[in-house]
């Protein structure tokens, strides 16, 4: 029994004992607190001075995303006071949690502006995501000159002339109905712009969106601008290399064709006029390496009726096919010609087929036979089905690459 007792004692001695959190080294304590949300860390800071110092370590304050409930003005004012003390360490701030309305919304807007002006005046903020109130004003941007990435969300969203002073800004995202104040213009330094839900009616596209000489990437989402005003995009011909649209009215052919530096075009069309714009512009867009034509209930019809839609995209490497409720005759000569083009286009590396299940456009034996033959002719072509789960996707791909007949 004695040897066994000595063995048990030895094992007990080798078992590490629990360490109290207040006994951890400072570096370890800071790392542990880093796993907590901001509000939890600030509660820990109330325990003692050592915890307070650890919770407010500069490395834990670089990315701040506080939670603010609807209409909670006192919390925002408290946050403003906290930012006054620690704002010099904050590099990224996200304030997008609540949506306030009415009279209280006005108080929220004032409190939000106080928070943003406080943190921006520290001169160290690089990235900001802000938008909590129904009406969002941006005069506080006058002290935000260090920003490189900015996302604003408001309905409506009032853009003040102060934004022109953000000479370091590279990326801008605007979500909401835009109202530019007299004399307001966007910084010429912007290279990436996303505009979402900008126009709820038939408004012209603001010219400020096209007066950006360094803009390389533009994404328009749910913007019902008057089609003719979209021709102003031609002003971006000298710099724009990537254009993405989602449920946007058609861009006139001349305006799209002028963007001769485009390399990536992602086009979500929902009417025949938009398809004709793409078809007419493609012969001029000879530098395209990625073309994604969506809503293929219309677009697939254009592809099947006119080989010119793709023939001019000589550098095309990625093609996305989306479905719709329109029936497609996959046994037609036009469908065979389309898949022949896909098989005989050497640069093509990636084909995605979306809405496979929801629309049933592609879920036919004719379409699968075409895909099976395409995979056999082009074994290096990556074919993916984004709307399928991972296992289903792999099953379809394995089936397409099998030698068994349909």
Express each pLDDT in 161-203 by its tens digit: 999 999 999 999 999 889 999 999 999 999 999 999 876 666 8
Specify whether the CB–CB gap between 319 and 344 falls below 8 A.
no
pLDDT for the residue 100: 45
Higher pLDDT among residues 159 and 400, named by residue: 159
Residue 4 tokens, joined: 């066994």
Beta strand 157-159 with 127-130 is unpaired
Range of the domain at 400: 289-406
Give burial (CB, 10 Å; 0-12/13-18/19+) of 146: middle
* Helix intervals (H) in 47-101: 49-55, 73-86
pLDDT for the residue 15: 55
Tell me the three state secondary structure of residue 383.
strand
314 located within any domain: yes
Of 8, 43, 60, the position where a domain reaches its end is: 60
| 233 band by pLDDT with thresholds 50, 70 and 90 | very high
Q: Please calculate the CA angle 329-334-336 and round it to the nearest 5 degrees.
A: 90
334 located within any domain: yes
Specify whether the CB–CB gap between 227 and 254 falls below 8 A.
no
User: Picking from 116-120, 221-225, 354-358, which range would have the lowest pLDDT averaged per residue?
Assistant: 354-358
- Average pLDDT of 48-70? 86
88 located within any domain: no
Beta strand 242-246 with 217-221 is parallel
Tally the domains of the chain. 2
Specify whether the CB–CB gap between 319 and 294 falls below 8 A.
no
Tell me how far apart the alpha carbons of residues 75 and 50 are, in angstroms, rounded to a whole number. Answer: 25
pLDDT for the residue 251: 83
Question: Is pLDDT above 60 for 294?
Answer: no
378 located within any domain: yes
Percent of the chain with pLDDT over 90: 31
pLDDT for the residue 14: 56
Of 9, 43, 60, the position where a domain reaches its end is: 60
Tell me how far apart the alpha carbons of residues 240 and 259 are, in angstroms, rounded to a whole number. Answer: 7
pLDDT for the residue 146: 96
Which of 54, 135, 48, 124 lies closest to 90 in space, CA to CA?
Answer: 124
Query: Among the ranges 59-68, 86-95, 202-211, 224-233, which has the highest mean pLDDT value?
Result: 86-95
Specify whether the CB–CB gap between 181 and 159 falls below 8 A.
yes
Higher pLDDT among residues 194 and 37, named by residue: 194
pTM above 0.75, yes or no: no
Give yes or no for a cis peptide into 300 (omega within 30° of 0): no
Higher pLDDT among residues 126 and 37, named by residue: 126
- Average pLDDT of 83-109? 76
pLDDT for the residue 405: 40
Residue 306 tokens, joined: 């006119």
pLDDT for the residue 406: 39
101 located within any domain: no
pLDDT for the residue 271: 58
12 located within any domain: no
pLDDT for the residue 29: 85
User: Picking from 332-341, 376-385, 394-403, which range would have the lowest pLDDT averaged per residue?
Assistant: 394-403
CB count within 10 Å of CB 391 equals 8
User: Picking from 67-76, 151-160, 299-308, which range would have the lowest pLDDT averaged per residue?
Assistant: 299-308
Which residues contact residue 160 at a Cβ distance below 8 angstroms, ignoring those fewer than 6 apart? 137, 138, 139, 141, 181, 184
Which residues contact residue 291 at a Cβ distance below 8 angstroms, ignoring those fewer than 6 apart? 265, 266, 267, 310, 313, 316, 318, 319
Tell me how far apart the alpha carbons of residues 359 and 206 are, in angstroms, rounded to a whole number. Answer: 36
pLDDT for the residue 141: 94
Query: Among the ranges 118-132, 257-271, 280-294, which has the highest mean pLDDT value?
Result: 118-132
Tell me how far apart the alpha carbons of residues 202 and 49 are, in angstroms, rounded to a whole number. Answer: 58
What's 192's DSSP letter? E
Higher pLDDT among residues 103 and 73, named by residue: 73
Specify whether the CB–CB gap between 244 and 269 falls below 8 A.
no
191 located within any domain: no
- Average pLDDT of 310-319? 73
CATH of the domain at 44: 1.20.1280
pLDDT for the residue 318: 80
CB count within 10 Å of CB 323 equals 24
404 located within any domain: yes
Higher pLDDT among residues 26 and 121, named by residue: 121
Rounded to the nearest integer, the mean pLDDT of the chain is 80
Tell me how far apart the alpha carbons of residues 342 and 374 are, in angstroms, rounded to a whole number. Answer: 8
Tally the C-alpha atoms within 13 A of residue 240's C-alpha that lie toward its C-beta: 26
Higher pLDDT among residues 53 and 361, named by residue: 53
- Average pLDDT of 317-328? 70
């Amino acid at each position: 029994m004695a040897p066994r007792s000595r063995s048990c004692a030895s094992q007990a001695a080798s078992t590490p004992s629990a360490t109290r959190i207040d006994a951890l080294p400072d570096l370890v304590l800071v790392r542990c607190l880093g796993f907590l949300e901001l509000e939890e860390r600030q509660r820990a800071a109330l325990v003692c001075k050592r915890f307070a110092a650890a919770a407010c370590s500069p490395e834990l304050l670089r990315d701040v995303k506080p939670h603010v409930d609807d209409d909670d003005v006192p919390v925002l004012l408290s946050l403003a006071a906290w930012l006054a003390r620690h704002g010099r360490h904050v590099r990224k701030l996200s304030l997008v949690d609540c949506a306030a309305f009415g009279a209280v919304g006005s108080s929220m807007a004032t409190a939000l502006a106080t928070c943003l002006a406080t943190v921006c005046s520290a001169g160290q903020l690089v990235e900001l995501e802000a938008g909590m109130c129904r009406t969002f004003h941006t005069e506080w941007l006058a002290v935000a000159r260090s920003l490189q990435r900015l996302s604003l969300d408001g309905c409506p969203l009032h853009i003040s002339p102060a934004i022109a002073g953000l000479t370091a800004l590279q990326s801008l995202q605007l979500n909401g109905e835009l109202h530019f104040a007299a004399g307001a213009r966007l910084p010429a330094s912007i290279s990436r712009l996303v505009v979402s839900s900008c126009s709820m009616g038939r408004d012209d596209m603001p010219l400020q969106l096209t007066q950006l000489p360094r803009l390389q990437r533009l994404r328009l989402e749910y913007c019902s601008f008057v089609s003719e005003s979209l021709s102003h995009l031609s002003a971006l011909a000298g710099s724009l290399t990537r254009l993405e649209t989602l449920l946007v009215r058609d861009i006139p052919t001349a305006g799209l064709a002028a963007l001769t530096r485009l390399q990536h075009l992602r086009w979500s069309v929902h009417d025949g006029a938009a398809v004709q714009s793409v078809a007419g512009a493609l012969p001029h867009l000879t530098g395209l390496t990625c073309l994604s034509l969506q809503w293929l209930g219309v677009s697939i019809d254009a592809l099947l009726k006119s080989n010119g839609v793709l023939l001019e995209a000589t550098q095309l490497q990625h093609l996305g096919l989306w479905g719709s409720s329109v029936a497609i005759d996959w046994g037609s000569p036009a469908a065979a010609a389309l898949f022949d083009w896909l098989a005989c286009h050497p640069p093509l590396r990636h084909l995605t087929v979306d809405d496979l299940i929801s629309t049933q456009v592609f879920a036919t034996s004719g379409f699968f036979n075409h895909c099976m033959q395409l995979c056999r002719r082009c074994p290096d072509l990556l074919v993916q089905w984004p709307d399928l789960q991972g296992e289903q996707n792999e099953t379809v791909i394995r089936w397409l690459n099998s030698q068994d007949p349909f």
